[in-house]
Amino acid sequence: MSTPRKASLGFIFVTLLLDILGLGLVVPILPRLVLSMMGGGHESDAARYVGLLTAAYAAMLFVFSPIFGSLADKVGRRPVLLIALAGSGLDYLLMAWAPTLSWFFLGRIISGISGASIGTAAAYIADVSPPEKRAQNFGLIGMAFGLGFVIGPALGGVLGSYDLRLPFLAAAGLILINLAWGFFVLPESLAKEHRREFSWGRANPFGTLRALARYPVVLALLMYAFFVAMGQRGMESVWVLYTEHRYGWTVLETSLSLTVVGLAAAVVQGGLVRRIVPALGERKSLVLGSVLAIVSFVGYGLATHGWMVYAILCVGALGAITGPAAQALASRAVPRNEQGMLQGGMSAINSLTMTLAPLIASTVFSVFIAPQAPLYLPGAPYFVSAFFVVVGLLIALRAFRLLPETAVAPPPGATAPGEAPGAS
């Protein structure tokens, strides 16, 4: 890999890391910050506002991810990434000095809009990676997520113990420094001959999915990604509630488990993906990762002692190979000038699950631990997560029948794998 390409991937990795780190910074301080802005009140009121803030962030990701993706196919990846970084840095300054809860809501909305550039970062990775290296390089996304969720909450808790606004100032400083670095080192990855006109018909979540439906394989892989993410987001959303309820874990014990989860994800996607996927191939990696995810979710639901969770984590972490494998398969089935739209669509799917999965998982958990529950089953949300992954795996296996063994993205204007001639 050439030095410029390494520098570009390094910048993309740092950008993704800071996006997730900034999100993680907010987690430990948000309830107290909301209470302070409310001027007091009950924790249940703060919890409701925290949920609304999370939903507002996820909704903006859902709406703007395909817009940024299609825009990046028109003007290139570099300007979209740099503008999003500038918006994110300035937004953290806004939240640091937000005088009221309404201003803070505005800040979270802007955060969601700026964070929608994650799909553009993935498209950049697809641009600069040869087909045989895409799955490994897509692993950088998972590694950034893992490290971000390890460093972010820890740093937010430390800085927030001095001042609840300090984490936002720290995030703003880091992101604006990264913006300056990117301005000087980041080249454009999408050649002008591979660009295409912007269309509002494609630049929305539903328009993007309709456009990608021209490629049956891609549509199936998007459905697979949706169900797997539903399982994963559902597991994450009830983790604290479940471990406290079933094992009596303290805040410290729960934080330690989340740190281990983040580190495991970083190790798998940052290191093991580069070995497992080339050795097994993308299809076998996707199937293996899905099976391991199903086994781990069922294991979490059945585990009767807290120490068992850590043993299951060793298996469950390997399930993280599914994301890079699915992204690589999908990216090879569309032309270069639609990579931004594809990654924007995948990002929108993920953000949609961030809204739906917590609602489903928390409701299931509440129903099965209630005194009047017909069956006491605190692990029920994890069984639901396993079911989601089973559905996704069945869809992926069906898609494999449509996918040539060596799928190569067609040039602009050519017929893609699985696309009928003349489709538009």
The CATH number linked to 47 is 1.20.1250.20
Instruction: Identify whether 242 is part of a domain.
Output: yes
Q: Which residues contact 387 (CB under 8 A, 6 or more apart)?
A: 231
Task: Give the separation between CA 7 and CA 210, rounded to whole angstroms.
Answer: 35
**How far, in Å, are 128, 323, 328, 329, 362 from residue 281 at the CA level?**
20, 13, 10, 10, 36
pLDDT at 363: 79
- Per the CB < 8 A criterion, the answer to whether 344 and 120 are in contact is yes
Task: Give the separation between CA 361 and CA 349, rounded to whole angstroms.
Answer: 18
Instruction: Identify whether 194 is part of a domain.
Output: no
Instruction: Identify whether 407 is part of a domain.
Output: no
pTM: 0.65
pLDDT at 318: 85
**How far, in Å, are 182, 254, 269, 327, 408 from residue 415 at the CA level?**
36, 50, 32, 20, 11
Instruction: Identify whether 188 is part of a domain.
Output: no
pLDDT at 362: 78
Q: What Rg value do the Cα atoms of the chain yield, rounded?
A: 21
65: domain range? 3-182+202-400
Task: Give the separation between CA 292 and CA 299, rounded to whole angstroms.
Answer: 10
Instruction: Identify whether 197 is part of a domain.
Output: no
Task: Give the separation between CA 29 and CA 202, rounded to whole angstroms.
Answer: 38
Instruction: Identify whether 367 is part of a domain.
Output: yes
**How far, in Å, are 254, 309, 414 from residue 422 at the CA level?**
54, 52, 9
| Domain tally, the chain | 1
Instruction: Identify whether 336 is part of a domain.
Output: yes
Q: For residue 224, give the amino acid letter.
A: Y
pLDDT at 221: 87
Which letter does DSSP use for residue 133 in this model? G
Q: Which residues contact 11 (CB under 8 A, 6 or more apart)?
A: 178, 181, 182, 185, 186
Least Cα distance to 168 among 105, 107, 101 occurs for: 107
pLDDT at 40: 65
Least Cα distance to 268 among 323, 230, 226 occurs for: 323
Both tokens of residue 352? 């949609």
pLDDT at 414: 39
Task: Give the separation between CA 424 and CA 419, rounded to whole angstroms.
Answer: 10
Which segments of the chain have a pLDDT < 50?
Answer: 1, 3, 43-44, 405-424
Q: Which residues contact 86 (CB under 8 A, 6 or more apart)?
A: 176, 179
pLDDT at 1: 47
Both tokens of residue 198? 């912007």
Burial letters for 118-140: b for 16+ Cβ neighbours within 10 Å, e otherwise?
Answer: bbbbbbbbbbbbeeebbbbbbbb
pLDDT at 6: 60
- Per the CB < 8 A criterion, the answer to whether 249 and 243 are in contact is yes
Instruction: Identify whether 15 is part of a domain.
Output: yes
